[in-house]
Amino acid sequence: MLVAVAALVVAGCAVWVTWRRTGLVVAIDVQHLVPCRRSGGCADPRALDLLGRDRGPLAVLDRFTTVAVPVLVGVFWGAPLLGRELETGTYQVALAQGVGPVRWFATRFALAAGCAAVGSGALTALLEWWRAPLAVLGGGPPPGAGAVAVAVAGALFALAVGACAGLLLRGTLPAMACALVAVPGARQLLAAVGPAARPRTGAAFHGDFRPFPALATTAYLGAAVLLFIVTVHRLRRRFA
């Protein structure tokens, strides 16, 4: 069910972003707009108009992919991964068939991690694809792949937080509450450590702060691996 909903969200965003980006590129080509200078601003008011028109929707989608998506993954996917199984006792069906607890968890986690990574990466790639002509028009370089890496790593971290909390707290609702606090809290911590935040280059995105991609990706992946190891260790002790 969650996979189907995620696929519909990604497909809907893809159609909408494609429509917006196509209109933007056509407008730039038809009006023969000259990119803004990094020092000196935009001489063409039409360029400023285009930048202002797409900045609002882009900021909303940006906030959704960087803040809301990891929280949703942790709360509604990671937390029930073990918490619901322990509450209802359905894990006993798999264990009764000779499947070890670690293998059972690893299989479920791998499937969820793959779907979360693909969905988050696809949404962020769409966002960066739409951002590219705006960044160039605003006088900055096109965005790189760093944002996609951060999105994938953040989704894996959120999933690991929810799964580990579900095992340690032995319940879905407590694990959801933990993920709801821990996932955005980790992002705020990254934004405070550092140099952990900087504005995007280009006149179109001043004030749009994000953690450095390398720092955020490394921190998220490292924390996700650590939480996965802790979860596996606790599973072995619980079912030893």
User: How do the domains of the chain map onto residue ranges?
Assistant: 2-238
User: Residue 110 pLDDT > 90, yes or no?
Assistant: yes
User: Do 141 and 33 form a contact (C-beta atoms < 8 A)?
Assistant: no
49 pLDDT band, cuts 50/70/90, is low
Mean pLDDT score, 201-226? 69
Q: Compute, in degrees rounded to 10, the torsion defined by CA atoms 94, 98, 99, 100.
A: 120
Confidence grade of residue 61 (pLDDT, cut at 50, 70, 90):
confident
Q: What is the mean predicted confidence (pLDDT) over 89-114? A: 85
Q: 221, 157 in Cβ contact below 8 A? A: yes
Is a pLDDT exceeding 60 seen at residue 191?
A: yes
Q: What is the 3-state secondary structure (H, E, C) of the chain?
A: CHHHHHHHHHHHHHHHHHHHHHHHHHHHHHCCCCCCECCCECCCHHHHHHHHHHHHHHHHHHHHHHHHHHHHHHHHHHHHHHHHHHHHCCHHHHHHCCCCHHHHHHHHHHHHHHHHHHHHHHHHHHHHHHHHHHHHHCCCCCCCCHHHHHHHHHHHHHHHHHHHHHHHHCCHHHHHHHHHHHHHHHHHHHHHCCCCCEECCCHHHCCCEECCHHHHHHHHHHHHHHHHHHHHHHHHHHCC
Least confidently predicted of 43-52, 88-97, 170-179: 43-52
What average pLDDT does range 99-120 have in this prediction? 90
pLDDT higher than 50, residue 207: no
pLDDT grade for 83, boundaries at 50, 70 and 90: confident
The predicted structure's pLDDT at residue 181: 95
Q: Average pLDDT of the chain? A: 78
> How is residue 238 written in tokens?
């619980």
Residue 208: predicted pLDDT: 43
At residue 168 the predicted structure's pLDDT band, cuts being 50, 70 and 90, is very high
| Nearest C-alpha neighbor of 48 from the set 37, 58, 59 | 37
User: What pTM does this model have?
Assistant: 0.79
In this predicted structure, what is the pLDDT of residue 216?
A: 86
The band of 200, judged by pLDDT with boundaries at 50, 70 and 90, is: very low
Mean pLDDT of the region 18-24: 69
pLDDT value at residue 51:
62
State the average pLDDT over residues 205-219. Answer: 65
